[in-house]
Chains A and B, each alone.
Chain A
Amino acid sequence: MPLDQHSDEGDDALMAAFAAGDAAAARALTLRWTPRVLAQAWRMLGDRAEAEDVAQEAMLRLWKVAPDWRPGEAQVSTWLYRVVANLCTDRLRRRKHRAGPGLDDVPEPRDDTPGAEARLQRDARHAALSAALAELPERQRQAVVLRHLENLGNPEIAGIMDISPRAVESLTARGKRALAALLGRHKDALGYDDDDT
């Protein structure tokens, strides 16, 4: 027996069913979208607990908008990208005013197990990237995140941000230059190689 009977339905139909009180639609939407919003929030924030909070809040907003959802007007994916990005931006701004991992923090490796150093380097870079993203102007941050963390193409990013693809390119280029300036110090401090994959 399938976990939900709506597994093949489109989002518009699921949203309508949700608004009509259908519990199976609620399950289907939960299973379909929670993983994606969690992953998106995690990529931006680098912190699992915060990413879970954002994911739960983003899904709560989806539930609240369901009665007003108009078929064909928007895509759930686009709508959620914007909501998650905004929620993450709020979190990043709050971090700036709190003590926490930042660009100048260099973690000391304590684990000698195989692969630990690579994981630590990955986690350190992720934390540094999140901190650097927090310093960017909002639209540059959004463009860079959608392009390089979410791997979306320029036309899709243009649709989400409601700007032209050319504007997306410009924002992405400027955002990357700003990130390079911010993270250059971090890279040098940790002494990482440029060409590792």
Chain B
Amino acid sequence: MTTPDRDDSFLDGYFAAARDGAPEPSPDLLARVLADAGAEQARQAAGTRDAAHRPGLWATMLAALGGWPALGGLATAGVAGLWLGISPPVALDDSLATLRAMAGVEDTATGLWGESTDALTLFGLDALGEG
């Protein structure tokens, strides 16, 4: 035996209660939102962005390096030096400085996400030194 569906027309009263009387923003709320806007514009103008709100940061770095296929070719251009923070290519200098500043990375032994930046292992380039 099945129970008949309960009549849900009474929900209309609940929906109406939720729709009724929406508040207008107070001047204080508007001021806070505007202050956030100004602060964010200043941050963006200074070139520093909150890493947590920048999707695809890793992808952006890879793209700057020319993508995965290009990494092999970059090996001879000193990519190991790149990741160890010794001698980045000039074009990436600003991006790297920004990213390091965001992540608070002083020690170049670990990467932006705390992973090992043993670039040789990271990019499978350790095999290049062998044989």
Contact = CB atoms under 8 A, between A and B. Distances in A.
Which of the four size classes fits the interface of chain B? 35 or more
B25 interface: yes
B44 A67 contact: yes
Contacts of B40: 60, 63-64, 66
Given A19-B44, A23-B38, A176-B11, A43 B18 contact: yes
- Where chain B touches its partner, the secondary structure class is helix
Interface string A5-31: 000000000000011010100110111
Interface string A36-54: 0011001110101001100
18 contacts: A34-B33, A38-B24, A38-B29, A39-B22, A43-B19, A46-B18, A48-B23, A56-B36, A59-B36, A68-B54, A126-B14, A126-B18, A129-B15, A148-B11, A177-B6, A179-B8, A180-B6, A194-B13
Given A18-B37, A183-B11, 19 more contacts: A23-B41, A26-B41, A27-B34, A30-B30, A30-B37, A31-B30, A34-B29, A55-B33, A56-B32, A56-B36, A61-B53, A63-B36, A122-B21, A125-B18, A130-B18, A148-B11, A149-B18, A177-B5, A180-B11
Interface of A: 18-19, 21, 23, 26-27, 29-31, 34-35, 38-39, 42-44, 46, 48, 51-52, 55-56, 59-61, 63-68, 121-123, 125-126, 128-130, 132, 148-149, 151, 176-177, 179-181, 183-184, 187, 192, 194, 196-197
